[in-house]
Chain A
Amino acid sequence: MRQLPIGSWPVWRQLTGADRTGRAASVKSRRSDALSARTASADRVVKSICPYCAVGCAQNVYVRDERVVQIEGDPDSPISRGRLCPKGAASLQLTTDSGRLDKVRYRPPYGTQWQDLDLATAMEMIADRVIRTRRETWQWEEEDGGLLARTMGIASLGGATLDNEENYLIKKLFTALGVVQVENQARVCHSSTVIGLGTSFGRGGATTFMQDMQHADCIIIEGSNFAEAHPVGFQWVLAAKARGATVIHVDPRFTRTSALADLFVPIRAGTDVAFLGGIINHVLTEGKDFREYVLAYTNAATIIDERFQDTEDLDGLFSGFDPQSHQYAEETWQYEGVQLVSASGERDNQYMARQAAQIDRPGSPGRDAGEHGSGEGEKHGSGTAALDGQARRDPTLQDPRCVYQILRRHFSRYTPEMVERICGIPPEVFAEVCRHLVDNSGPERTSEFVYAVGWTQHTDGSQFIRSASILQLLLGNIGRPGGGIQALRGHASIQGSTDIPTLFNLLPGYIPMPHAHKAQTLDDFILADAARKGFWANMRAYLVSLLKAWWGPAARADNDFCFNYLPRITGSHSHYDTTLEQLGGTCKGYFLLGQNPAVGSANSRMQRFGMANLDWLVVRDLNMIESATWWKDGPEIESGELVTERIGTEVFVLPAAAHTEKAGSFTNTNRLLQWHHQAVEPTDDRRSDLWFMYHLGRIIRQKLAGSTDPMDRPILDLTWDYPTTGSIAEPVAEAVLAEINGWNSDGRPLSTYTELADDGSTVCGCWIYCGVYSDGVNQAARRKPAEEQSWVSPEWAWAWPANRRMLYNRASARPDGRPWSERKKFVWWDEEVGRWTGYDVPDFEPTKRPDYEPPDGARGVAALRGTDAFIMQADGLGWLYTPTGVADGPLPTHYEPQDSPMDNLLYRQQRNPARLLRPHEHNRYHPNGSQRGAQIFPYVVTTYRLTEHFTAGGMSRHTPYLAELQPEFFCEVSPELAAERGLVHADWATIVTARNAIEARVLVTERVAPLHVDGRIIHQIGLPFHWGPNGHSRGDAANELTSISLDPNSHIQESKALSADIRPGRRPRGPDRVALVRDYQRRAGITERTGTEA
C-alpha cells in the first residue's frame, strides 16, 4: 500500500486544522474526496425521450465505456423542464436490469419447456411460417367479385410503444403481405379520440399542447387521472392554478389528481354524457354560448335534412336505425341538400350514395359491405344530395331544423335533477361546475377540458368526447390559448401509431383503408371517401404519394399507382375481432410487438384461449410477459381448461431493444415528433423492431424472389432497400423518416404537404408528417433549449401538421382577424403585411384574407372561406352536430354501460343500440338495472392506472424500483361497502363477473365514496389493471373481469364501467374458480342472449 504523508492522516488534520472536533473537514476520507458524479465523467450524453407515457419528457442518457450509466431529465425541454416521474426515473433500471430478456426463447408445438434458438434461425423460421400461412389462407375476392387480395390468417398487435419509423415498416410490410389485421394499443386506449375529436374538428389529435395549459382560467379534468398517469405534464395544471385558475376533477374516485384540485366532483362511472349533456343544456337554456364564435366557426346555423328524427322523437333512438343489424343508416342525418364526408370515422359508408350522386359516373358498381356483419356501420343510401356546395344556414338560429335548435331540443331533458339521479351529483355541485366553466369562457377567458381513457373506453366512448367537443365549441374554447381539449395519451408514441397507423382501418395520415368493392378504381375510392372542400379534398395527392412511397417505380398512372395492391377490409378486423378469428381457427399466426393482451385486453382469458388456438406466435418484448408464457403457467393451465401438452401453438420470443438502444421518433400526446438518438448498441439477441421488420421483409422477399404468383407482386415490388449500419445491420431510422416525409421528382425532401401532387411525381409515406425532414434536416431532433425561445417553443422538435402546436388557431381571432382580446391573443391577421401571424404557426392558409369568400363552384382548399377555421372539415366548420361519420348518432346520448346496475332514466333505450357485441361462451354479459338477475352484480367496477406502474405491467412489474412501490394488486372500496360485504382492510377480496373471478388485496378508503343515485346507494370498486402472474410484482389481472363490448365507431372495449360482485377472502383455486363463475352465471340467469338486445 502506498505510503501516505502524515499530513493526510485524519488525526493530524484534526489536531492541526480548524476542525478540532473531527466532524468535518478533518475526517473526510480519501474516497469522499475523490467522489465524482458519473454524469460528469460520462463519455457522452445522448439526447433521448422517455419511453413510458405520451407526455414526451426529454431525457439525457449518460454513456461511459459503451454502457448507459445514468438517465435523467433534460432541462432544455419546454414540456418536461428536466423532470421525470417515477417510471421515467426508473428507465435506467428498465433498460439495464439483468432481468431483461437477452436471448431468443422457443417453444415447439406441444412442448413443455423453452428451448434455445439462435436469432438467425428464428428469423428464417418466422419468415417460412409467414409465407406458408399467407399462401394457405390467401383470399383473392369475395363471392360477389369484390377484390380482397389479402390474408386473414396472420395478425399483428402492438406499436404504441415503438417508434414512428418502426410502425411505418410494420404497416408497410404487413400491408404488402396482404395482412389487414394490424392493430396496436391505440385500439384499446384512444381510438374513440380519433372519432370524437376528428369528426368534431377535423383532426383526431388533442387540440392543444402541454405548456399552453398554464393559460387556462379553468381546467376540468374528467375521465383522466392526470397527476397519476401523466405526472410531469401535471406541472402545467399547477402552473395554471398558481396563476389563479380553478381546477376541477370529475371522477368516480378521489385520486392524486383530486388531492390538488379546487373542486372534486364524484361521479358514477360511465355517466359522463349525462353530466356533460347537463352542462350543454345549461349553456343553451341560459344563453351562455359564445354567440359570435358559434355563428362564425360552428355548424350551429346549418339546416338539417327534414327526415331527421331525434332521440326526443324516438325515445332514445335516432332515425335510420335497423333493429335487425343494430346499425344506423345515416342519410337522414345529413345537411339539407348537401352530402358531406366526415374528416374522421367511417367514411366509406356513403360509397353507393356518392357513386350515384356523381352524375358523370352513373351506375358505377358497388355493394353493401354491411352484409358481412361488420358492425362497421357501412351502409349505402339512395341519397341524391349534391356533393358540393354550401348547406343552407339560418344565422338567426331560429329555424327549428337548424343544428342549434336540434341541440336545444336534444339536450332539454338533461336537467340538473336528471344529472343528480343518473350521475349522483347534487344540483348545487353541478351548478358550481357550470358556473366555473361559463364564467371562465368568452373573449377574455378560456377553459380547457382534459380527458384520457376514462372517456374513451365505453360502448359509447366516442360520444363522451363528442359531448366535450360540443361544449367547448359552444363556449368558444377551441383553437384559443388556455382552451381546447387535451387528450392525454398513455404510450410514448400512441399518437404516432395512430398517425402512422398500425390499425386495420387506416392508412398513414388517416386515409381510410379501402373496403372491398367490385371493380373499384382509385377514383371511385377518392370520390366516396374524400371531402370536396377543405384539405381532405386533396386526398388523392396524399394517397398517390403514399402508393409511390411503397411501390416506387411499379406504381404508375396506368395501373392506378398499384391501388389494387392494397388489401381490402370487409367490416371490422379490429383487435377483438382477431381474437374471435383465432378462436374460430381463421387466424393462425400472430405477432405481438410490445403489447401484452393476456393482461391488457378486455376479457384477457379469451385472449389466451385465442392464442392457444394459433399455429404460431411471435412475441417481441423487453421482458417475459404473460402473453408469452400462458401455455405454461397461465390461469387456464391451473384450472385444467388448457393442457400444455395439448397446445399446438409454436411460440417465438424475441428480445427487443430498449429506447436507448435504437434511434427513432416518438409522437407525443400533442402531435409532437421527438427524436431519440441511439445511446448504445443492443447486446445479445436484442433488436429493434425496425431491425426485425426490415430483416423479416428482406428474408421473405429473398425467399419469394422469382415467384410469378400474382399474390407475391405487392411484396416483390415493394420499395425495401433501406441502408443499414453497425455490426448488427440496423436499418438507418433517418432513412425511414426521410421516406415518411417524402421527396419530389428531383429527390429533394418536401417541406410541407401542400407540395404533394396526385400525378405520381411526389413520394410521401405519411402526408401529415410531411415537413419533418424538410431541407433534409431531421426536424424532430431539434433541441433548442426552452429558455432560448418563446413559451410556444416552435424550435423544439416538430409537430404535425406543419409544426403547428395549437390546432384550429385561426379561431383565436375574431372572424375579421383581430384577436378576441388582448389577454387571449394568439394568432391574428396582420393587414399591413397581408398575412396571418402570431405566436404559433397559423393553422390556416397564411395569406388568405379573413374576408375571403370563395367564388361559385370553388372546390377543395379554395372553397374554404376566410373564416373557415376548421380547415379539414368538409364545410370548414366545427361540428356541433355530426351529419356523418359517427355510427351511433349525430349527437351524444346517455346510455347505460353494457353491464350496469341501473336502468336508463332518460330513455326506454337502455344501452347504446349500435354497440358491438361478441357473444361467446367466454364472453357473457350481465342483466341490467331492473332486469331479473342484475342484483347478482350490484356494484360498479372501474379500472385505471397507478403512477407507479405502466399499462399491462411489461415495463414496470419487472422493474424492482417500481414493483416495490405498488407491490400487490388491490381493490379500492369505501368503508360502507367494506362493512356491507365484510371486507377487511389489507386482507383479500374476490371480485366476480360473468367472465371470471379474481382476487385482490382490500384497500378501504373514504376516497371511494358511495353515491346516492336515484334513491339508491351505488357502491363503486376501483381496480388498477396493471397486474398479471409474471414479473417481480404479481397479481390477478383486472381485465379477467371485463367483457368484449365495443364502441361501434372505435371498436374500443368498455373497461371503465361494468358491474360486478365482491366478497371477502381469496378466490377459489383450480377448477373451482371456473365453477364459481358458472354459479354466478346460473344465479343471474345468464344465457347467450343476455344483454344482447338492441
Chain B
Amino acid sequence: MALDLREATGGERDPATAGGYAEPPERVGFFTDTSVCIGCKACEVACKEWNAVPEDGLLFTGMSYDNTGSLGADSWRHVAFIEQPRRLGRQETHLAPTELPPDLLRSAGGRTAVSLGLPASAPPDGHVAAAADMDFRWLMSSDVCKHCTHAACLDVCPTGALFRTEFGTVVVQEDVCNGCGYCVPACPYGVIDKRPSNGLVSKCTLCYDRLSVGQEPACAKSCPTDSIQFGELAELRERAAGRVRDLHDAGVTSARLYGADPQDGVGGAGAFFLLLDEPEVYGLPPDPVVTTRDLPAMWRRAGLAAVGLLVALAAVTIPGARR
C-alpha cells in the first residue's frame, strides 16, 4: 500500500483538521518581528522558567552577545546577534569618521583589515565594507521551532511521540518518546535535539499546556517589545504583511517575511519571521523543504522496483517459464 504522506498531512488543509480533530480551534503560531527585537533574551529565560528546561552550560562563545549558540534540547528559544557592515533603513550610525587622514588610518589599522571570525559578519552577497563605508547595523532575532504545516519530524517518528495538536502545533510527548532520534535529522531547520541527560528529544511545545487553558506561550507573554507575537496564524500573517509594508515605506527595504508562505517547502511555518536580511544571515535555511517530501515517490518507486523484481524473479523461477 503506497501512502501519500503529504496528502495525509492535509496538503493545503488545516493540519489539525487533517489530523483528525473534529472542529479544532483556529491554528495558532508565532510572528517574530525581528525589526523591534532588542536582544534581551527574555524569551529564552521565560521559556526555561515555564518549561523547567535546564541551564545548559556557561560557554562564552565570542559570537557577539549570543552565548546560547543555537536551538537545542535545552534551548527552545535562541536569540541570534548579527553585527553587519550594512545600513539599517535610514538609520545613521556614524560609527567611524569617514575621512580619516592616511596617517591616522594607518595608525588605526584600518577598519577592514581585521577579521573577527564572527558568524555572518558579511552578508551572503559578498558585500564588503570599504574604509569609508562604515554603515553598520546590529540585527537580533529570536528563533524557535517552526511548527511546520508539513512536519517531517512527525512523519518519521515511529512511536507517535511527536504529534500534531488541535492547535496545529507540533509537540513531543516525553512519556512516549523512546529516544530513537529519527526526528533529529528529519528537521529541515535543525531544531530538534536530544537531551543528553535523559536521551529524549525535546523542543518548543508552543506552551501546549498554556494553550489548553487559554494562555499565551511564556516567551510571547514576556517579550518586552512585542517582537514575539502570538495569535491565530491567519491574523498574524495579515499583520506581518502590513508590517513589511510599513517598514518598506520607512526605508527598510530589506524587510521580508520568512516562513509565512503556505506554498513554501514546509507548507508554511506556524512560527514565522520578519527578517531584515537573507535567512542565512540569521542561521536559517533559505529554502527549507520537508525532508519527507519525496518519501511517497520513493515508496512508489521502491514498490514498483519490488514488483518488477518479483515479476523478474517469477519469470526466472516459475518452472513453466523456463521452458
Interfacial residues, chain A to chain B (CB-CB below 8 A): 10, 17-32, 35-40, 70-73, 82-90, 92-93, 227-228, 231-232, 234-235, 238, 254, 256-266, 424-426, 429, 432, 946-948, 960-968, 970, 975-976, 978-980, 985-986, 1001, 1003-1007, 1009-1012, 1017, 1032-1033
Contacts and interface: CB of A to CB of B under 8 A. Distances in A.
For the complex of A and B, list the 5 residue pairs with the smallest distance between their C-beta atoms, beginning with the closest. A24-B19, A19-B20, A27-B160, A986-B62, A18-B20
Given A73-B222, A238-B225, A264-B95, A27 B67 contact: no
A1069 B20 CA distance: 67
Given A19-B21, A85-B222, A980-B108, 17 more contacts: A19-B20, A36-B213, A37-B209, A72-B222, A85-B224, A88-B222, A90-B45, A257-B38, A258-B138, A425-B94, A961-B49, A962-B45, A967-B67, A970-B60, A976-B114, A1004-B116, A1011-B97
Interface stretch (B169-177, B192-200, B231-239, B304-312): B169-177
Given A40-B213, A1009-B95, A1012-B97, A23 B163 contact: yes
B191 interface: no
B321 interface: no
A234 B164 contact: no
Nearest to B218: A72
Contacts of B61: 986
B163 A32 contact: yes
A31 B173 contact: yes
B56 interface: yes
A29 B173 CA distance: 7
B58 A1033 contact: yes
Centre residue among A83, A234, A1006 by max chain B CB count within 10 A: A1006
B293 interface: no
A948 B58 contact: no
A25 B165 CA distance: 7
Given A256-B39, A256-B138, A964 B109 contact: no
Interface residues of B, number: 92
Contacts of A425: 94
B42 A84 contact: yes
Interface string B37-53: 01111101110111000
Contact of B215 (A35, A40, A89, A1012): A40
Contacts of A90: 45, 49
Contact of B44 (A259, A965, A968): A965
B16 interface: yes
Contact of B16 (A24, A234, A1001): A24
A238 B91 contact: no
B284 to A, nearest CB: 19
Contact of B94 (A93, A264, A970): A264
Nearest to B68: A965
B229 to A, nearest CB: 12
B136 interface: yes
Given A264-B93, A1012-B97, A1017-B108, A86 B55 contact: no
Interface in B198-219: 207-210, 212-213, 215, 218
Interface of B: 3, 5, 8-9, 15-16, 18-22, 36, 38-42, 44-46, 48-50, 55-62, 64-65, 67-68, 83, 85, 88, 90-97, 100, 104, 107-111, 113-114, 116-117, 134, 136-140, 154-155, 157, 160-166, 171, 173-176, 207-210, 212-213, 215, 218, 221-226
Nearest to B90: A262
Nearest to A428: B94
Given A28-B163, A232-B224, A429-B94, A89 B46 contact: yes
B134 to A, nearest CB: 8
Given A20-B8, A238-B225, A961 B42 contact: no
A25 B173 CA distance: 13
Given A93-B49, A259-B137, A29 B36 contact: no
A264 B92 contact: yes
A687 to B, nearest CB: 26
Contact of A27 (B42, B114, B134, B163): B163
Nearest to B5: A21
Contacts of B171: 32
A1033 B222 CA distance: 24
Contacts of A960: 55
B154 A259 contact: no
Centre residue among A30, A960, A964, A1032 by max chain B CB count within 10 A: A964
A967 B164 contact: no
A153 to B, nearest CB: 42
B222 to A, nearest CB: 5
A260 B111 contact: no
B90 A256 contact: no
Nearest to B57: A964
A1017 B106 CA distance: 11
A1010 B96 contact: yes
A1003 B59 CA distance: 14
B95 A266 contact: yes
Contacts of A966: 65, 67
A35 B209 contact: yes
Contacts of A1005: 64, 83, 116
A713 to B, nearest CB: 52
Contact of B176 (A29, A1009, A1033): A29
A678 B142 CA distance: 34
19 contacts: A17-B20, A23-B19, A24-B165, A25-B166, A27-B161, A27-B176, A28-B165, A36-B212, A37-B209, A40-B213, A86-B46, A88-B222, A238-B225, A264-B91, A432-B92, A963-B58, A979-B109, A985-B117, A986-B60
Nearest to A987: B62
Nearest to B174: A31
Given A235-B224, A976-B109, A89 B45 contact: yes
Contact of A965 (B67, B97, B212): B67
A975 B114 contact: yes
A355 B212 CA distance: 73
Centre residue among A25, A30, A266 by max chain B CB count within 10 A: A25
B8 A21 contact: yes
B138 A985 contact: no
Given A23-B160, A72-B46, A961-B45, A947 B96 contact: no
A238 B224 CA distance: 10
Nearest to A13: B20
Contact of B42 (A231, A985, A1010): A231
A1005 B137 CA distance: 12
Nearest to A17: B20
B262 to A, nearest CB: 19
A1007 B107 CA distance: 19
Contacts of B226: 83, 235
Contact of A256 (B140, B165, B222): B140
Contacts of B164: 23-24
A234 B68 CA distance: 24
